[in-house]
Amino acid sequence: MIAQPMLAVLSSRRDFGDDWIFERKLDGVRVLADYDPDRGVRLESRSGRPLNGTYPELVAALERQTGLAFTVDGEVVALHRGRTDFGLLQQRMGLTNPVAALATGVAVTYYLFDLLALDGHDTTGLPLRDRKTLLRKAIDFHGPLRYTTHRNHGGPELLADACSRGWEGLIAKRADSRYTHGRSDAWLKLKCVGGQEFVIGGFTEPAGSRAGLGALLVGYHEGEDLRYAGKVGTGFDTRTLTSLRHSLDEIRIETSPFADSVEEKRALWVRPVLVAQVGFGEWTRAGRLRHPKFLGLRDDKSPADVVRERPKGRP
């Protein structure tokens, strides 16, 4: 594994001083890239899974760089009419054959936002502003490679503008922060709408003319327990319903994996090994998702790492 990436904390904070910068929150998958003139390029997911076969055009673009060794951090997205489309990106995720990946016709863009090493020197101890300056100078941004721009001032108005553009939100980062491995409150997620990853623990049979399944039963970890968060019945097309049902049938079990009682008469249970990205309005007082919508499966996060994200206010 190249390195455990630095992760942001969900926050309700909206007032910031001049010691913060603000980047667009992208709805894609985290990818770290390492380039060495002798060994070539290695792409990895946040969990350390190799991704060279999934995004061969990114490998090619990174190999065309100046010759200095580097390690960079960024987000791979698929764009539709200028907006990131996680559902579209799903067509590339999980593929390991570069020919099959390119044959999907789904173009991907790699937004780079941080530099972990350059020319054999560890840069993680430098302030963020310095790392971004070095990144912009070190990489030739062309083709699928993009530099993640930032704003030096932000607050409620900047977030409102981001939301009006259909963005997922903003990432607020301390301008002088060092790059640390793991979750840090030096990086804060400011979301426009609710959404996070959930573990799939079961599903219901379809009703009427619907194919595949009725709804997914999802949850999150609280210690050793898998807590039930509700059922997700929208956001699917027929192809997704059929594909999901096939995957779920392969991991069927007899008893519920949830620590809570789940009142679903037609529930079928599965081993909690699949992670779904779910958008939703808010949490209810009973701890259930309101108006959830399936956005896609994630293969870049371990089910054991899925917990309920709780906004952190001003420190």
Q: What is the pLDDT of residue 313?
A: 63
- Domain holding 50: CATH number? 3.30.470.30
On whether both 69 and 130 belong to a single domain, the answer is: yes
Within-domain flag for 83: yes
- Enter the pTM of the model: 0.82
Asked if 123 contacts 157 with a C-beta cutoff of 8 angstroms, the reply is no
Q: Which domain range does residue 141 map to? A: 6-191
Question: Between the CA of residue 215 and those of 19, 78, 211, 218, what are the distances in Å?
Answer: 45, 26, 11, 9
Q: What is the pLDDT of residue 168?
A: 86
Q: What is the pLDDT of residue 314?
A: 47
Q: How many CA atoms lie within 13 A of 27 on its CB side?
A: 28
On whether both 29 and 178 belong to a single domain, the answer is: yes
Active site residues: 25
On whether both 45 and 13 belong to a single domain, the answer is: yes
Which tokens hold the place of 4? 């455990």
Number of domains in the chain: 2
On whether both 44 and 118 belong to a single domain, the answer is: yes
Within-domain flag for 313: no
Tens of pLDDT, residue by residue, the chain (315 residues):
677 899 999 998 888 999 999 999 998 999 999 999 889 999 999 989 999 999 999 999 999 987 799 999 999 999 988 888 888 998 999 899 999 999 999 999 999 999 999 999 999 999 999 999 999 999 999 999 999 999 998 888 898 898 888 888 999 999 999 999 989 999 999 988 778 999 999 999 998 888 899 999 999 999 999 999 999 999 998 889 999 999 999 999 999 999 999 988 889 999 999 999 998 988 998 899 989 999 999 988 889 999 999 887 644
Within-domain flag for 312: no
On whether both 32 and 148 belong to a single domain, the answer is: yes
- DSSP alpha helices (H): ranges in the chain? 56-63, 86-89, 98-103, 128-138, 156-164, 238-249
